[in-house]
Structure 1
Amino acid sequence: MNKAIAFVLGVSFMWPVAYAQELSSIAKYPKAGKNENRNVIWLEKIDHEENYKVEIIATKQGMTDCNTRSYHTDLKKKDLKGWGYDYFVVGKADQVISTLMGCLDNKKTLADIPVVLPAGESIQRYNSRLPIVVYAPKDIQIKYKIWKADKIVPAVISNE
């Protein structure tokens, strides 16, 4: 009984250490600035990674009503000098864009509002060997979505 308790306690105290060791492998990346977070996306190793893509998604909490709202910002891909790795930096998202419908109930709720990122940079190839590192302002949450190509369909040739 005492051995079982010691094992459970040992594993529970070692879990943060194991996680910290995994994160320490990205020490070559710059530390997050004062007003930003460094978000790290670790992907599982899967078969046929070439059939998958990763979409970086950003949201920001704000008050919303019946109108559709979004923020727009840039996503810059930067090179980690001397390492050959990339990382991403999300710009500030201060200006909300909204439809202008008249809301009958005038009810406002706190919600995650999408932060639209440029599609050219927000969709990346799936690579389980390296993390995707994204620096973002502290008020922006980073999430991700995995896309899978079920089949490859040939294009129709039209030489007319």
Structure 2
Amino acid sequence: MKLHNAIIALSAITCATAFASSPDPLQAYPAAEAGFVRKVIQLPKVKNPELYRVQLLAGKMMEVDCNQTRLAGELKEETVQGWGYNYWVLPEVKSGISTMMACNPKEAKKSAFVAVYSEKLYRYNAKLPVVVYVPEGIELRYRIFSAKEKTQMAMDK
């Protein structure tokens, strides 16, 4: 029985080492389907990853005026079968919402990044790449948010 457990443990270590040292860390993730591009973010290692979150911003450069403009779409979380790794797919991007302020007619339109609206923050994990599939022509940008380690006490009232 001990020999059997040792063989299983050695096999698991060999598989994990082979994947970790693989020249292509994305081998577990599916290739992008026609009309889509696979975007990859490798997050830097941090001391306390539980204090960090990532915001994914899919969008494109557009001519905009003084109004706030957003695109519409929804990132859907998927799992790599057999591996358990998460990745995200943005199935489509539609024209979204815009405020309706009267802009100064003397102000020229400007080119700006317009993102698919989302306030969602994702778990920070520097051990695996963040893999997102977006339609061709869509950029992927991201922000990293961090919290202070010190917490504050809520008051009884």
CA RMSD of aligned residues (A): 2.1
Q: Which residue is 1:99 aligned to? A: 99
Tell me the SS of whatever aligns to 1:95.
Answer: strand
List aligned pairs for 1:124-135, cutoff 5 A.
124-135=122-133
List aligned pairs for 1:50-65, cutoff 5 A.
50-65=50-65
Q: TM-score, normalised by structure 1?
A: 0.74
Does the alignment pair 1:110 with 2:108? no
Shift in CA distance, 45/106, structure 1 to aligned 2, threshold 3 Å: closer
Letter in 2 for 1:63: E
Q: Which residue is 1:90 aligned to? A: 90
Q: Is the 8 A contact 2:55 2:119 kept in 1?
A: no
Q: Which residue is 1:24 aligned to? A: 24
Q: Which residue is 2:15 aligned to? A: none
Q: Which residue is 1:149 aligned to? A: 147
CA distance in 1, matches of 2:22, 2:62: 33
Shift in CA distance, 23/138, structure 1 to aligned 2, threshold 3 Å: farther
Letter in 2 for 1:115: V
> Whose helix fraction is larger, Structure 1's or Structure 2's?
1
Q: Is the 8 A contact 2:90 2:133 kept in 1?
A: yes
Q: Which residue is 2:77 aligned to? A: 77
Shift in CA distance, 108/128, structure 1 to aligned 2, threshold 3 Å: same
Letter in 1 for 2:108: K
The total of aligned residue pairs comes to 136
CA distance in 2, matches of 1:142, 1:92: 14
CA distance in 1, matches of 2:46, 2:78: 26
Q: TM-score, normalised by structure 2?
A: 0.76
Gaps of at least 5 residues in structure 1 are 1-20
Letter in 2 for 1:67: N
CA distance in 1, matches of 2:131, 2:45: 17
Residues 9-41 of structure 1: CA deviation (Å, up to 9, x unaligned): xxxxxxxxxxxx977221121111221110111
Gaps of at least 5 residues in structure 2 are 1-20
Q: Which residue is 2:68 aligned to? A: 68
Tell me the SS of whatever aligns to 2:61.
Answer: strand
Letter in 1 for 2:58: A
CA distance in 2, matches of 1:79, 1:36: 18
